[in-house]
Amino acid sequence: MPRWLPRAVVLVLALVACFQLGSWAFHQLMGLLVNILIAFFLALAIEPAVARMAARGMRRGFATFLVFLAVFGFAAGFLILLGSMLAGQIVAMVESFPNYLDSVIDSINATFHTKLSRLDIQDSMLHSDWLQKYVQNSASGVLDVSATVLGGLFQLLTVGLFSFYFAADGPRLRRALCSVLPPAKQAEVLRAWEIAVAKTGGYLYSRGLMALISGVAHYILLAILGVPYAPALAVWVGLVSQFIPTIGTYLAGALPMLIAFTVNPWYALYVLGFVVVYQQFENYVLQPKLTSKTVDIHPAVAFGSVIAGTALLGAVGALIAIPAVATLQAFLGAYVKRYALTQDAHTSTAASRPWSRVRLPRRR
């Protein structure tokens, strides 16, 4: 047996064990790593405001606290207003539900010549087996819902703490990263950091602008239909549809439809049709133009990055995919050397239109 063989076997086994241990640790810490990634992009988003306040002599920690307080106050006020509105509409729907049920039963009796009554229907529903099973399943699912809510609150607290520390200690964090790099690499890291801040801010600006346009458009529709709480519903549609990826559009349109249904059932269909039409307009006209201008990437690249981010990290990946790709594209564009194109049949504009060089015979 060669002398190196036992050492090689031990080395291979050690490498395999380290790989298995690293893979297990990575999967166990996947949730924490995703939270840190979200917190990092949130810190980049609020970095311009914090830096502007710090430049005026305010401490970065206090400036970060004021920015977080403003965001939290706006979110809390909006949720309180939305909750009160939703509770009032649910109470109104519950009170008017017997009248709706009576009108539906009367129309069924008049059409099919039946003799249905609301009391008989209620009695049969209360004593049905499926209702009892549904109540039992709902009671057993309360614990699951509570655990999900507590987990979401803990995750939100984790993201908030990390983003606060990243924003408040931004210069210190940059110094710590640059201290372990040579001077040439330090300039590249600082440049990449500045590009990430600019692109993340541009992405949030484009999302905020689209939320404003969406809110105004839906407010006009709801005001024309006479739906109550039109301003709050417009703000809800604008924020939820733009800042919650994938399912945000459906969540945003469900609440106005529910409120419109309390006014007139046909109004709910009108709202649904408007949401679908506006969503197509936003996807194919508004979003590509705003995203390509503020984030400076091609619309096809933006669409593909959202799909790739969703496949990798789900909703989180869809939310941070565009600023991440824009940052990478800008960083590579600053260091990738480009050359002038040669006059070729595939690169020349005039040569790409062969019909422009064809001369038709003159008529005599």
Has residue 21 been placed in a domain? no
Is 247 a member of any domain?
A: yes
Within a domain: residue 14? Answer: no
Residues 171 and 45 in one domain: yes
Query: Which pLDDT belongs to residue 51?
Result: 84
- Let me know whether 197 and 171 are in one domain: no
Residues 42, 176, single domain; the answer is yes
Is residue 137 domain-resident? no
The pLDDT score that the predictor gives to residue 335 is 64
Could you tell me which residues come within 8 angstroms of residue 145 by beta carbon, excluding any fewer than 6 positions away?
none
Predicted local distance difference test score (pLDDT) of residue 289: 73
Residues 232 and 322 in one domain: yes
3-state SS assignment for residue 107: helix
- Is 162 in the same domain as 196? no
At 343 the pLDDT is 66
Same-domain status, 202 and 101? no
Looking at the structure, do residues 232 and 308 belong to the same domain, yes or no? Answer: yes
pTM of the model: 0.64
Residue 132 pLDDT: 63
Residue 330 in any domain: the answer is yes
Q: What is the pLDDT of residue 17?
A: 94
If asked whether residues 169 and 229 sit together in one domain, one would say no
Same domain, 295 and 167: no
Q: Which domain holds residue 285?
A: 191-335
DSSP 270-338: HHHHHHHHHHHHIIIIIHHHHHHHHS---HHHHHHHHHHHHHHHTHHHHHHHHHHHHHHHHHHHHHS--
Is the residue at 12 inside a domain? Answer: no
Report pLDDT digits (tens) over 298-340.
667 767 777 787 777 776 777 777 777 777 776 676 666 666 7
SS3 at position 358:
coil
What are the backbone angles phi and psi of residue 339, rounded to the nearest 5°?
A: -120, 160
The crossing angle, in degrees rounded to 10, of helices 183-225 and 265-281 is 150
How many domains are contained in the chain? 2
Are 104 and 222 part of one and the same domain?
A: no
Tell me whether residue 360 is in a domain. no
Where are the alpha helices (H) located in 29-169, listed in sequence order?
30-55, 60-112, 118-126, 129-168
State whether 170 and 238 are in the same domain: no
Q: Same structural domain for residues 197 and 153?
A: no
Contact criterion met (CB below 8 Å) for 229 and 85: yes
pLDDT, mean of each 10-residue run, the chain (364 residues) = 84 94 90 85 83 87 89 81 70 72 78 75 67 61 65 83 87 83 80 77 78 88 86 83 71 84 85 88 76 65 75 74 74 66 57 46 50
Residues 6+ apart with CB under 8 A from 268: 257, 258, 260, 261
CA 201/CA 44 separation, integer angstroms = 8
Q: Is residue 19 part of a domain?
A: no
